[in-house]
């Protein structure tokens, strides 16, 4: 209950003061984080095609074998706060593979479904899943990846092609990995071709970059 000591002063109960203090603290913290990211974002966007850090960023995710270089090449590499992004392309197979990872612990099935709903979004590429075709799981470097195969639609061109989204929650580690793959010249998703890429991952690196 509010108590009034005089006409202009109101004494708030302790719980109310604590709530107000908590809200103010959260507001200040979020504002500080937003300022930090807004200050850093232009630099990251400006250097988006600078691949000089690509080996270090790739190494923070996994160890790849030598066969990777025979068909796939890194086209995009970003390290942005707790998030990292690698994009591989294979011109011969007309395949793009985008890997996102961060040091977060989330529910794997919820993450998979939300990643499917969000679709694929990079600075140069945006597509949404419009139809779910199948679901399953694969072993990747001794970790289990759950995946959904569906039809992707390019947001700009409206072209449709098969795609896959998969999620891996590294065992006993606070790291979630999300993979997107699209094959824009295929009628159906070539899972065998995609698995050839996955076999290039020898092991995941658990240490933070």
Looking at domain 54-204, its CATH class is alpha beta
Report whether 159 contacts 126 (CB < 8 A): no
pLDDT exceeds cutoff 60 at 181: yes
Q: Encode burial over 174-202: b for 16+ CB neighbours within 10 A, e otherwise.
A: ebbbbbbbbbbeeeebbbeebebbbebbe
pLDDT in tens, 108-150: 889 999 999 999 988 777 999 999 999 999 999 989 999 999 9
Q: Please give the mean pLDDT across all residues of the chain.
A: 77
Q: Which two tokens stand for residue 88?
A: 């591989």
Average pLDDT for 183-195: 87
pLDDT in tens, 51-70: 788 888 888 888 888 767 66
How many whole angstroms separate alpha carbon 150 and alpha carbon 145?
A: 16
Please state which of the ranges 45-49, 63-67, 124-128, 179-183 shows the lowest mean pLDDT: 45-49
How many whole angstroms separate alpha carbon 110 and alpha carbon 7?
A: 53
Q: Give domain limits for the chain.
A: 3-46, 54-204
Contacts of 36 (CB under 8 A, 6+ apart): none
Q: Which residues pair with 176 in a beta bridge?
A: 102, 169
């Amino acid at each position: 209950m509010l108590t009034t000591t005089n006409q202009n002063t109101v004494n708030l109960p302790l719980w109310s003061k604590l709530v107000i203090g908590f809200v103010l603290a959260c507001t200040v913290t979020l504002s500080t984080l937003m300022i930090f990211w807004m200050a850093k974002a232009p630099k990251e966007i400006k250097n988006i095609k600078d691949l000089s850090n690509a080996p270090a960023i790739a190494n923070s995710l996994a160890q790849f074998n030598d066969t990777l270089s025979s068909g796939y090449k890194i086209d995009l590499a970003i390290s942005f706060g707790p998030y990292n992004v690698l994009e591989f392309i294979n011109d011969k197979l007309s395949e793009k593979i985008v890997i996102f990872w961060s040091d977060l612990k989330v529910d794997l099935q919820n993450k998979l479904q939300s990643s499917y709903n969000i679709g694929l979004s990079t600075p140069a590429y945006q597509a949404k899943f419009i139809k779910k075709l199948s679901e399953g799981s694969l072993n990747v470097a001794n970790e289990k990846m759950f995946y959904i195969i569906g039809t992707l639609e390019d947001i700009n061109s409206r072209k449709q092609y098969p795609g896959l989204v998969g999620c891996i929650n590294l065992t006993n580690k606070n790291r979630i990995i999300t993979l997107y793959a699209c094959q824009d010249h295929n009628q159906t998703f070539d899972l065998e071709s995609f698995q050839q890429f996955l076999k290039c991952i020898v092991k995941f690196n658990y240490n933070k970059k």
